[in-house]
Structure 1
Amino acid sequence: MRGRWLQVNGTLGGARRAVSVAAALILGGVVLASPAASKDTVVVLTTYHDDVVGPVVKAFETAHPDIAVELVWKQGIEAFGDLSKPDQSGIDVFWGPSLSTFPALRDRGAFRAITVDRASIPGRIGRQQISDPNGLFEAYEVAGYGLAFNLDRLKERGLGVPKAWRDLATPRVAGAVGLPIPASVGFSPALYDVILQSEGWERGWALISEIAGNGKLLGIGGSPTDLVAAGDIAVGLTIDFYPMAAAASGRPVGFVYPARTAFLPAHIATTASAPNAKAAATFVAFLLSRPAQELLLRPDIRRHPIRPDAYGKIDAVFANPFAPADDITFAYDADLGRLRRGVISALFDAAITSRHQRVAALWRAIHDAEAKLAAQPNPKYSELLAEARRLAGSVPVSAEAATDPARLARIKSYPSDIAAVWNAELDRAHERAFALVRRVGADF
């Protein structure tokens, strides 16, 4: 009986613990074994779940029956520790979605270069780099950021499918938008950074704040896709594979990529000290091959290949980021996003999460005043409301600081003294915004 070989939860008695999945399925338990002596072995550390790993490893073992795959499951921070050791814990290949870990390990000399054909594997989407420029790690698949929606709930409000992030700032969607909290939901710091880089730092935060004023904040256990499917919200900001998987299983969820979004990669790399270097190279080459990339299009996986030739026939919602007709991307800077991930989470907590009711009330007041002003135009009051908008959406970190690595490093830990300064600045800005809105409202 041939099974694939998996490591579960580290080591057992100082030795690697391997499980034959095929045997476990038959016996209903865990079976400890060793790969057949006649086979080569490749040891792969992955952060993926089995919904991705299982079909890919099965296809690899079918194509290469002479190589047994041993999988080690770790989270990104654990993977960093293992692969930073002198012997790199005996790992041959690192494979998974971990935006920060791959560059950090690269900078420590943890990887050896991978040779690929750039005619088939471009390593970029338009102007957006997705693989290491020096070939030390390669993109394996990409996921896009956008909007899950419930069409029935939108129709109840007389709304069409949103086409841009800004469509969620209209008062007509108030109470029907779900926003993940970046400190609690792993994919969401990158999602908000996509908006910030697309719109610009100041305009981006103003937009995020206004959308939050319309919305519900979702923490751990509050999946935007699940709430959209249940009809609790009409639209949720999310990453594409959750709503696509839900739609494939028949749940009432649609998904749209707004204009100027980004596709962020998962990666694969060969370790510098790989004990099974030849088998590792074979495994990496297979995962980047067209047949393996086409596996990503399966309904139960629904990830975007990094090979343009792997798309073939795809449905309308599954955009091909390499196709000019679907050009919805921009030159997203993933390195900058990685540097300010913690700062974005801290600012969101300070400016939105910790004062959400007040933020929502402020934006309702601004929207109400703007509606009245539209009926009775007045240039003076238009200027006052424009200033109220600026104050309502402002954050206590400048656009200049938001692109300065040294300043980002100083504030990303969000110490208590910075928190106090931020909260005081936000309090003053919101109080001034409320005062301006009240001044306009007094004359209507």
Structure 2
Amino acid sequence: MNVGFLRGVRYVCWCMVGVVCALLFCGIVPAAAKAVQSSSLRIITSYPPDFYEPFIERFKSLHPEIKVSILNKKTASAVAELLRGNNRNFDVFWSSSPDAFEILKQGNMLRHTERARQYKAMRVEGFSVDDPDGYFYGFALSSVGWMWNDSYLKNENIDAPKRWQDLEDSKYYSHVVMSTPLRSGTTHLIVESLLQKMGWEKGWAYLLRMSGNLVTLSARSFSVTEGVKSGLYGVGLVIDILGRAPDVKDVKFRYGEPVLLMPAGIGALKNSVNSREAEIFIDFMLSPEGQAVLLKPQIRRLPVAQQMYDSGKLAQSQLFKLIKEGKAKPYNSSLSQVRYNLVNNLFEEFITYKLLERRQLWKRLLLLESQYAANDPYFLSVKKKTHSLLSEIPVTYKQSLDPVYNAIFFNLFTGTPRSPEQQQQIEQWQQFIEKRLKKANKLLDSVQRK
């Protein structure tokens, strides 16, 4: 009797298997079975979770069959890993930095996608949203500027800065914060934007003078945002996505003009496993469903799809208004790509490693300024000479465009030790800096003795 019972159970089980197989063969699959994740997608991004999670949630609702895994990594570190061969087989790179995409394209690590953009992108004169060769696509528009805490500045009796040049004014001494371009891809965009806007020599002179007002250099650009929001700092140099804080009424953001317009991008990677899923995700980011996520209050990024502008939803966008007024120019990511590591090395040697000395010199100058009449000819002469000594770099604009010279600094991506040529160059820079810092101190000593 027990044997017969077991045979009956076995028979019923085989019948159930047969029915399920027949349903699958005919395409009649229960909803629960359809939701089983049968494929994967691996994304590497510089975006924080509070930015990318709304996109991933919406994507999963449309494609529940795709399992998404995502790694947040600083832009420079992500690019370095991918240039070493993408050994962890990421499928998609997703970042605010157009520089990073140009570097990966030159490094032959981006895959040409098979699908063309299905939804028309907005047109801006002289500006291309997508890579003309089809290796990456713009999904949002950005630019850089500064954020400030109104309560903080009012307590210090300081006006909010209205233009970039205001930030080198002595009244902002110890009230300004930024990150470094080596640690933050968005900070590199800020530095390179200023160099493109002002020119190589004048741009570096501005950065070196403005650095005297820095209270600190934060480890990441997100720390700049949090510091200004909390009232720890007065003014922070940021990209727009980090500068707007709708949850904090005292925090405001302003674009520097002219606005250098840059596309935040997305691209498929070589040495990936899930190329079909990568293209599905890119299509989603460029579609109305993906573009609509950009309008969420916690993101508030300018979309690229023309369809979004036709709806009238973006009429109040500050960046869109500046574009319509003709106050926006294209950011030159090809130029930035050539000198990316050179700019990072110069910033480290001249500002990051010498921030304390620069702050001390500017402080001495400010104290002396308060002791002399505004039109004192001797002090004005010393002040001008000090400014000149603290505002020079030993690299010419022509050198910044030279691929051979720039190749000396490529080890920032490879992680290899400095070459003899690079070490020699760095040592020459250091001697240049030390000589000028000593001269500046002697000048200020002479004023104090007078």
TM range (shorter): 0.7 to 0.9
What is the CA–CA distance in structure 2 between the aligned matches of 1:103 and 1:292, rounded to whole Å? 24
Q: Answer with 100-109 or 168-177: which moved more.
A: 100-109
Distance across 2 between alignment mates of 1:106 and 1:348: 25
Per the alignment, in what secondary structure is the counterpart of residue 353 of structure 2? helix
Equivalent residue letter for 1:360 = R
Mapped partners of 1:196, 1:351: distance in 2? 15
Q: 1:268 aligns with which of 266, 277, 296?
A: 266
Matched, 1:120 2:118: no
Alpha carbons 2:143, 2:261 under 8 Å: kept: yes
| Cα shift at 1:267 | 2.0
* In the alignment, structure 1 residue 102 sits paired with structure 2 residue 104: no
What's the CA shift for 1:126?
4.4
Alignment partner, residue 426 of structure 1: 433
Match for residue 236 of structure 1? 236
Change (3 A) 1:57 1:213: closer
The residue that corresponds to 1:14 in the other structure is none
Matched ranges for 1:238-253 at <5 A = 238-244=238-244, 247-250=245-248, 252-253=250-251
Deviation at 1:235, TM superposition (A): 0.4
Question: TM-score by structure 2 length?
Answer: 0.75
Answer whether contact 1:190 1:341 (CA < 8 A) is retained: no
**In 1: Cα distance, 2:80 partner to 2:388 partner:** 42
Q: TM-score, normalised by structure 1?
A: 0.76
The answer for the alignment partner of 1:346 in structure 2 is 345
Q: Deviations over 1:103-127 (max 9, x none)?
A: 34434274224422685344xx543
SS in structure 1 of the partner of residue 328 of structure 2: coil
Tell me how far 1:207 sits from its aligned partner.
1.2
1:23-38 alignment to 2 at 5 Å?
36=34
Deviations 1:262-302 (A, max 9, x none): 34333223457887766654443332123421211211223
Change (3 A) 1:355 1:305: same
Distance 1:181 1:82 in 2: 23
**Number of the residue aligned with 1:70:** 67
Distance 1:165 1:309, change over 3 A: farther
Report the alpha carbon displacement of residue 360 of structure 1 after superposing the two structures with TM.
2.1
1:45–1:79 CA contact under 8 A, matched in 2: no
Q: 2: CA distance between counterparts of 1:337 and 1:59? A: 33
Q: Is the 8 A contact 2:294 2:301 kept in 1?
A: yes
Corresponding letter in the other structure for 2:254: V
Q: Quick one: structure 1 residues 351 and 38, their matched pair in 2 at CA, closer, same or farther if it must change by over 3 Å?
A: closer
Who is 1:24 aligned against?
none
Residue 403 of structure 1 corresponds to: 401
**CA RMSD of superposed structures (Å):** 3.7
Q: Provide the rounded CA distance (Å) in 2 between the counterparts of 1:338 and 1:96.
A: 15
Distance of 2:230 and 2:299 partners within structure 1: 22
Listed as ranges, the gaps of 5+ residues in structure 1 are 1-33
Residue 154 (structure 2) pairs with residue 152 (structure 1)? no
Q: Per-residue CA shift, 1:207-236, capped at 9, x if unaligned?
A: 112211112122326811222122222101
Give the distance between the partners of 2:272 and 2:354, measured in 1 at CA: 50
Report the structure number with the largest CA radius of gyration: 2
Secondary structure at 1:131's aligned position in 2? coil
Give the Cα–Cα distance (whole angstroms) in 1 for the partners of residues 90 and 156 of structure 2.
57
Residue 38 of structure 1 and its aligned partner are, at CA, apart by 8.6
- For residues 52 and 399 of structure 1, the distance between their equivalents in structure 2, rounded to whole angstroms, comes to 37
2 CA distance for matches of 1:78 and 1:200?
28
Distance 1:387 1:35, change over 3 A: farther
Which residue does 1:178 correspond to in 2?
177
- Counterparts in 2 of 1:309 and 1:416: CA distance versus 1, 3 Å: same
SS in 2 for 1:183: coil
Amino acid at match of 2:157: G
The structure 2 residue matched to 1:80, chosen from 74, 79, 82, is 82
Counterpart Cα distance in 2 of 1:239 and 1:176: 18
